[in-house]
Amino acid sequence: MLHIEQVSKVFNPGSPDEKLALSHINLQLRAGEFVTIIGSNGAGKSTLMNLISGVLFPDIGSISIGNQAVTSMPEHARSRFIGRVFQDPMAGTAPSMTIEENLAIAKRRGKRRGLSFGVKRADRKWFKEQLATLGIGLDDRLQAKAGLLSGGERQALSLLMATFMKPKLLLLDEHTAALDPARAELITTLTERIVQEHQLTTLMVTHNMEQAIRLGNRLIMMDKGRIILDIGAEQKRKLTVDKLLYEFERIRGAKLADDRVVLGG
Partner 1 sequence: MLGSGFWTAMYKSFELGLLYAIMALGVYVTFRVLDFPDLTVDGSFTTGAGIAAIGISSGLHPLAATLLAVAGGALAGMMTGLIHTKGKINPLLSGILMMIALHSINLRIMGKPNIGLLNQETLFTSLEKGFMFIAVVGALVLVIKFIIDGFLKTDIGLALRATGDNARMIRSFGVKTDSTIVVGVSLSNALVALSGALVAQYQGYADLQSGVGMIVIGLASVIIGEAIFGKRTIARVTFAVLLGAVLYRLILAVALQMEVDSTDLKLLTALIVIFALTLPRIRGNMKQKAVSRKRAVEMMKVGGEG
Ligand X SMILES: Nc1ncnc2c1ncn2[C@@H]1O[C@H](COP(=O)(O)OP(=O)(O)OP(=O)(O)O)[C@@H](O)[C@H]1O
Where do contacts with partner 1 occur on this chain (CB under 8 A)? 53, 74-77, 79-80, 82, 84, 86, 90-97, 101, 104-106, 108-111, 113-119, 161
143-178 burial, b at 16+ Cβ within 10 Å, e below that, comes to eebbeebeebbbbbbbbbbbbbeebbbbbbbbbbeb
CB closer to ligand X out of 107 and 207: 207
Q: What span, in angstroms and rounded, lies between the C-alpha atoms of 194 and 197? A: 5
In the complex, the smallest distance separating the C-beta of residue 12 from ligand X, rounded to whole angstroms, is: 6
CB closer to ligand X out of 107 and 226: 226
Q: From the list 46, 130, 206, 211, which residue makes contact with Mg ion (rule: CB under 5 A)? A: 46
Residues in a beta bridge with 2: 29, 65
Residue 19 lies near ligand X (rule: CB under 6 A) = yes
Using CB under 6 A, which of the segments 34-42, 57-65, 116-124, 154-162 binds ligand X? Answer: 34-42
CB closer to ligand X out of 84 and 141: 84
Q: What span, in angstroms and rounded, lies between the C-alpha atoms of 147 and 98? A: 8
Out of partner 1, ligand X, Mg ion, none, what residue 118 binds, judged by CB under 5 to 8 A for its kind, is partner 1
Long-range contacts of 75-78 (CB under 8 A, 24+ apart): 77/110, 78/53, 78/54
